[in-house]
Amino acid sequence: MPLLSNNSTSSARLSAENAEAERRLREAEDRLREAMEELHRRQRKAACGDSPPCDHADDSCVANAIGNLCQSFLLSYGVRVGIGILLRGFKLARGKSYSSLLDLKQLVSEKDLIVREEACRIGLLFGGFTGSYHALRCLLRKRRKKETPLNAILAGCIAGLSILALDDPNRRRTLSLYLLARVAQCAYNSAKSKNKFHLWGSHWRHGDSLLFSLACAQVMYAFVMRPESLPKSYKDFIQKTG
């Protein structure tokens, strides 16, 4: 019996020592893993100059900006040319010349489909804005060594100069006013979603539809009672679409 008791005590002591050794080994592994992660974090921070990493880790900032520029340019150019071809097709169909719809010379000829310069300008507008916005945002992120909404605002304001790609001052003014209204709408929606600011009645059901109706009513009042307050192009647009 004493011999059996000694063996049991030795086995229990050995098991406790093994458990303690395993616990210490796991703690050492955890500390080593944390040290390696901290080392990698410091190396990444040193590589990017203590600035926050960009969201295009697989590409450089220049490659990302050029890629966005080309993508937006090709998309805008293609959409404008496609609209021009569609309108040209409607014009041929209205003239009862259905067979000419299959004739590429009449459908997409340079004489009748003059959209190349306009399509290029629109492509430069949207492509230039997108590319310069991403490039400026990366530059501000590295210069200021932090990512804040101010970076996006500054980059967007400077990139907005790409509107100079349009040669018609009236079109530039019209587009600027439209984009300004959309910026105000986005700012209001952002403030409303964060419960910082909202207009009276905006929480009503179908309140957005009511607001749109009031805005349209104001425009139609000006069109009927004060037509001189509207630009000629806008009056022509209402007459054609109405």
Q: What is the pLDDT of residue 93?
A: 75
| Interatomic CA distance for residues 123 and 187, integer angstroms | 26
Q: What is the pLDDT of residue 98?
A: 64
Read off the tokens for 167.
């040669």
| Interatomic CA distance for residues 208 and 198, integer angstroms | 12
* 95 in Cβ contact with 103 (< 8 Å): no
The string of pLDDT tens digits covering residues 90-147 is 777 777 666 666 666 666 666 666 667 888 899 999 999 999 999 999 898 888 888 8
* 113 in Cβ contact with 84 (< 8 Å): yes
Read off the tokens for 50.
């203590």
Read off the tokens for 45.
């921070």
CA atoms 44, 49, 54, 60: torsion sign: negative
| Interatomic CA distance for residues 149 and 157, integer angstroms | 12
Residue 168: other Cβ atoms inside 10 A? 11
Q: What is the mean pLDDT of residues 170-192?
A: 84
Whether 229 shows a pLDDT value over 90: the answer reads: no
The string of pLDDT tens digits covering residues 143-169 is 888 888 888 889 999 999 999 998 888
Whether 3 shows a pLDDT value over 60: the answer reads: no
Tell me phi and psi for residue 147, to 5 degrees.
-110, 115
| Interatomic CA distance for residues 203 and 21, integer angstroms | 63
Tell me phi and psi for residue 191, to 5 degrees.
-65, -35
Q: State the average pLDDT for the chain.
A: 80
Q: What is the pLDDT of residue 215?
A: 81
Whether 173 shows a pLDDT value over 80: the answer reads: yes
The string of pLDDT tens digits covering residues 69-97 is 999 999 998 888 888 878 777 777 777 66
Q: What is the mean pLDDT of residues 223-238?
A: 85
